[in-house]
Structures are given as C-alpha cells and as structure tokens.
Structure 1
Amino acid sequence: MNDRKLKILFSIINSYIIDGEPIGSKSLADEYNMNISPATIRNEMSALEKMGFIEKAHTSSGRLPSDKGYRLFVDYILANELNENIRPNRSDRMISLLDKRYHNASDIVETATKILADLTNLTAVSVTLKNQIKKINNMELIRLSSNQVLLVAVFDNGLILNEIIHLDYEISTDELIFINNVLNDTLVGSDIKNVNENLKKLEDNLLSEYRDLMDNIHRRLEGKSYNDAERDVQIEGLGNIFNFKEYEDLSKAREFIKLFDSKDRVNKIIADRNYNNLYVSIGYENGLDELKDNTIITSYFKVNDEVVGHIGVVGLTRLNYLDVISNIIMISDLLNK
C-alpha cells in the first residue's frame, strides 16, 4: 500500500476513534489538510474499500474502518511507534503501589487492574493463572514490639503473606531468632500439605510454650494457601463503557456486561491462549459473535521467569490503540519487576 492510501486510511481510523462517526472525502480533506482534492481522496477511499480496509456506513455516505483496517493500523503501531519516549510516565505512587517488596502479590494485581481501568477509561481485566501453592519458599517473623510480630511468608507461586500477629505475652529478639531458625528448618521447602502436621510437632516439642503463636501462624498460612489460590480474576471499570455513545443502547450495554458474569468465560477471553507477549485481538478475530465489535488487548506478568497471569482491556474496536497499548505495556513492565 502506498503512503497516500496509508495516510488516508489512518486518518479515517483516527477520526472514527475520536468521534465514532463515519467520515466522507470532503470532511477528510477539510480536517486533515492532505493537500489533495476530495475527488482524489474519494478515489483512494474507493480503492481502500475494495481492498477491505474500510466499510461503507449504513446510515451515511461516509466510511469507517473494518477489522482489517484496524489490524493494519495496530501492526503499524507495534512496528513503528512504540518506544520508551511515548510510553506514559510512571508516577512514584504508581511504582510504590505495585512494589512487590511492600504488598501481597494478589493485591498488587488487583491494584494494577484498577489503575489500568483508570488510565484507559476502559474495562480492565486480569487473570492470575491457577498455580496452586506447593511449598513455602521463605518465612520470617519480625519483631515489631514486645508483643507484636510480623509474619512474612513467600510461597512458590509468587504469593506473599505479610500479617501482624498480636501476642498476649512479651517476646524477645533472641526468642524470635530461635523460633525463626526452627520454623525455617521445619517449614521452608516442605510440602504445604504438611504444614499442619509439622506445626503440631513443633507445638508438642521444641516450641510448646509458643502454642498460640504456632496456632496463629498455621491459620494465616492455611488461609493464604487455600483462599488466594481462587482469587484468579479481577474486573474493573465495567461502568466505563458508558463513556461511549454506542452503549447508550442499554441492550448493547447489557450484552457487554453479561460477558463478565462468569469467571470461567473471562478466563477464556483473556488467558486461554498460548502467548507470552502483547496480544491484540480485533473484532471477528476474537472468535465470539458477542465480541465482534470489540478489541481485546492483553499482556503478561511473570514470577521467577514463569508466566503466571495476563492483564489487559476489553473495549470497542474504535479505542485509542496507541495510548492503550502503551499503558498496558507500562503496567505489565511494573508487574514484572
């Protein structure tokens, strides 16, 4: 495709993304200063229509992009326009909110999904793959005061537990050093299924005088290992669809919202694909009739070099691809740090 056709096509796409209205050759000439006549633009638009990149609108003489047109546009963006200079600024607060040193991994993904919905004004979705906890990789009790300790545990699927335990008695630094050594020798690296049995042995033997502390540790570890394994889908910003005039039709809005009724369906839409990079699926590429007017853009996040989830947006095909892709890449990069 020559440069003139490409410029006309991208101008049609840009106009439709902004206004949601088909555009004709005269309006295109007036709005985009192409220095060619409306007749020439009309001929080029006719050629683009025959090539399948634009479509004739049912309600006017204007043209709008087809899925094929959007695909060419997105592929051009990915090949030519994505670089560090145009990616959004990462605020210190955003970096802090997504810092694995200070927050639980599942909470970070939830926060990232909310941030993405706010940044894009679209419906943001994340799916953390169901990677069942098998063992504890690291564990430590940190003394906060004479009768308060912080339990920090890192599981093999990337989840992090950090919870304060209040004690009815005082505990010294030397006592905590002893307890930490015993807990690490007994629990770290062992099968999560044996936590209850191992803690019971410790209560009966080496750590009998710290029985209530052991009970507290057991409840926190068990709750994290079983409950968080099910927290695999986050949906934020469903109401953002009403920023688009297409969803003034409430039946269309209900149809879109219904897509997110089932977590299994969301999982299939977002994560049931074999990819470890940015993924853009436009209109009929989605394979579902309910998504024929929508685009799905997702990226991945990893723990220990293994993909454990995907995060992205679902919106109309006329979304702002450059900004949305940039924001998704930024959030994905932060989750992977």
Structure 2
Amino acid sequence: MDTRKRTILQALTEDYINSAEPVGSRTLAKKYNLGISPATIRNEMADLEEWGFLEQPHTSAGRVPSDKGYRFYVDELMSKAPIGHELLERIRSTYQSRVRELEWFIHQTAKLVSDITGYPSIVLAPSWEQGIFSALHFVGVGEDSALLIIRTADGFTQNKTVSIPKELSLAQLNALAQDFSRQFAGVSMRDLQNYILDPLSTSLFEHAALWQTVLGWFLTEGSDDERMTVAGPLTILNYPEFNDINKVRRVLGFLEQDKAVEQIVHSHPADGVMALIGSETSIEDIQDCSVVTASYRVGQTVVGRVMVVGPRRMQYAYVMTVLEVVSDELSQALKWA
C-alpha cells in the first residue's frame, strides 16, 4: 500500500474511532490537511474499499474500516499511546496494597481496567488445576468442624468447611496437615489429584481415608468454575453500536460464558498484548466487538489473562498501552505475593 493510501486509511480509521460516524472524503479533506482534493481522496477510498480495507454502511455515503482495515491499522499504522504520570501512579498504587491475596488482586485488576478504559474487562485467574500445591491447614469453626484452607504456590486459595474425624483434635489434624504439606509441596494440583499416598509415611497412611477425601475435594470443588472475573459489563451501553438490544444481549451473554472466554485464550495462546478484531475472535456473539488481551505471569510462567471487550472501533492504542502496564504491574505484585 502506498503512502497516500496509508495516510487516508489512518486518518479515516482514527476519525471513525473518535466519532462513530462514517467518514466521507470531504471530512478528511477539511480536517486532516492531506494536501489533496476531496475527489482524489474519494478515488483512493474507492480503491481501499475494493481491496477490502473499507466498508460502506447501508444508509451512509461515508466509509468505515472493515476488520481487515482495523487489522492493518493496528499492525502497521497505529502509534503507541503515551500514558500520563497520574494514570501510571494510579495503576501502581493499586498493586502496592498490603493485601497479598491473589483473589483480591484479580478483582481489583478487573475493576481498575474497566474504570480506566471505559469498556467491560475480564481477568482470568491462574488455573487451579495447573497450580502447584503449597500448603493446607485447618481453622476450627465448631466442635466437630473446621475450615480447610488450601494454597497454591501462585497464591491462589480455596477453602471448605469439613467435618473433623472424632478420633482427631484440631491440633492433631493440623500436625497431620503440616506433614502432608511437607510431603507434597511442589506437586502440581493435577498430579496431586491422582497421587497415591506413600505407605511408608505412617502418619499419612494411617489416615489415608481423610487425605483421599481431601484429594477428592481438590478434584470436585477446586475447579476453575470461578476463574473468570468480569467488571463493567454495562459500559457497553455507552457506545452507539450497541443501541440494538439483541447485540447487547449477545455481548452480555458472552461475558457470562467462561467456556467462550477460554476458547479465545486457547485459540490465541500468544504471550504479551494482542488485539483480536471482529471475526478474528471466532465467537459468533461478539462479531461486532474486538478483544484486547494481555498475559500476566508468576515468575517466568504465564498464568492468566487480562482482557478488554469493546466495539470494533475501540481505542486500540490506549487500551493496549493500559493492558501492557497493568499486566506488568500485576505480574510484579504476584511475584512478591
């Protein structure tokens, strides 16, 4: 694509992103000082439409970018958006809290991203099944019951109220829990679910039924059903593309479907920040949307994603910069959690 067409496509795309109104040749000539006549711009736009970079809405003389046009804009034309000092400090202060629990970070991240970008956000927590077992302990909540708390190496916790065996006191139960933690710390949750207890470990083998119950709970209750946190779903109503109630229903439905979000992650496993535009998501309900996603880490391992869902005319440069900063800060916070 020659320089003139690139300039026109960039100007048209950015104008449409900001205005939500189809863009005509006269608008480009007046607003962007391109140094060429509206007639020349119109001819260039016709070529861009023929090549699949622009589309013409049914009732408008103006043009809008197609998925192909947005993709070219993001990959070839878009400049990286700067992030102001005040916003940077706001992001960093979120992760300087004394709270060190993963769940807190996940919920705060989802809220922060939606508040800053003005779009619905999704944060996928680290997968429970892929986590590394760290420790478990019991907290008494009654004469014959206790709260079982299980923690993974990345800081994720699960808890459940369980019955205390009659032959064991809470202190004895926690002594066994310490023994269990020492033996199995560092084992993946997936392997732990099928682990055969070592019969040479007398104290554990003596209470094998108890630990098999615990391992059974890992399998049934320690699932990824609550892995996804969503914030700001109704912000989608702020954009004229979603004046159609059926479109709104489809987007809100997608935001409630863990499996659909997981499908995007599994289909696009790339590290870093990435934009998926319209049909690139492969999800029918959000064909009118784009999704920007960024991975975050615990140590050197990618453990989750931060995502933004918005109209195809999303402020890509701004959103991608925000997600890059947020994912880096979240990764640093989890490193010390």
TM-score after normalising by structure 1: 0.73
Amino acid at match of 1:107: W
For the residue of structure 1 that corresponds to 2:328, the secondary structure is helix
Q: 1:292 aligns with which of 287, 295, 298?
A: 287
For the residue of structure 1 that corresponds to 2:255, the secondary structure is coil
**Structure 1 regions of 5+ residues with no counterpart?**
141-151, 162-179, 195-200, 203-218
Residue 9 of structure 1, CA deviation: 0.7
Tell me if structure 1 keeps the 8 A contact 2:120–2:231: yes
CA RMSD of aligned residues (A): 4.0
Cα displacement string for residues 122-179 of structure 1 (whole angstroms, at most 9, x for unaligned residues)? 1111222423377654799xxxxxxxxxxx9862244269xxxxxxxxxxxxxxxxxx
Tell me if structure 2 keeps the 8 A contact 1:88–1:326: no
CA distance in 2, matches of 1:77, 1:111: 33
- Cα separation, partners in 2 of 1:11 and 1:93, compared to 1, 3 Å: closer
CA distance in 1, matches of 2:47, 2:279: 22
Q: Which residue of 1 aligns with 2:65?
A: 65
Residue 86 of structure 1, CA deviation: 4.3
Q: Which residue of 2 aligns with 1:28?
A: 28
Tell me if structure 2 keeps the 8 A contact 1:128–1:310: yes
Matched, 1:237 2:235: no
**Structure 2 regions of 5+ residues with no counterpart?**
138-148, 159-173, 196-202, 205-213, 333-337
Q: Which residue of 1 aligns with 2:92?
A: 95
Residue 289 of structure 1, CA deviation: 3.0
CA distance in 1, matches of 2:176, 2:233: 48
- Cα separation, partners in 2 of 1:229 and 1:264, compared to 1, 3 Å: closer
Q: Which residue of 2 aligns with 1:55?
A: 55
Tell me if structure 1 keeps the 8 A contact 2:128–2:156: no
**Where do residues 196-215 of structure 1 align in structure 2 (5 Å cutoff)?**
none
Cα displacement string for residues 274-300 of structure 1 (whole angstroms, at most 9, x for unaligned residues)? 222222111122223322211111011
Tell me if structure 1 keeps the 8 A contact 2:292–2:307: yes
Q: Which residue of 2 aligns with 1:311?
A: 306
Tell me if structure 2 keeps the 8 A contact 1:124–1:235: yes
CA distance in 1, matches of 2:301, 2:97: 16
Q: Could you tell me the percent identity over the aligned residues?
A: 29
Q: Which residue of 2 aligns with 1:187?
A: 181
CA distance in 1, matches of 2:319, 2:226: 25
- Cα separation, partners in 2 of 1:154 and 1:304, compared to 1, 3 Å: farther
Residue 186 of structure 1, CA deviation: 6.1
- Cα separation, partners in 2 of 1:23 and 1:103, compared to 1, 3 Å: same
CA distance in 2, matches of 1:77, 1:299: 20
**Where do residues 239-318 of structure 1 align in structure 2 (5 Å cutoff)?**
239-318=234-313
For the residue of structure 2 that corresponds to 1:275, the secondary structure is coil
Tell me if structure 1 keeps the 8 A contact 2:129–2:223: no
Amino acid at match of 1:187: S
Q: Which residue of 2 aligns with 1:114?
A: 111
CA distance in 2, matches of 1:128, 1:77: 33
For the residue of structure 2 that corresponds to 1:300, the secondary structure is strand
Residue 13 of structure 1, CA deviation: 0.6
Q: Which residue of 1 aligns with 2:327?
A: 332
**Where do residues 33-48 of structure 1 align in structure 2 (5 Å cutoff)?**
33-48=33-48
For the residue of structure 1 that corresponds to 2:272, the secondary structure is coil
Amino acid at match of 2:113: L
For the residue of structure 2 that corresponds to 1:102, the secondary structure is coil
For the residue of structure 2 that corresponds to 1:279, the secondary structure is strand
Tell me if structure 1 keeps the 8 A contact 2:260–2:283: no
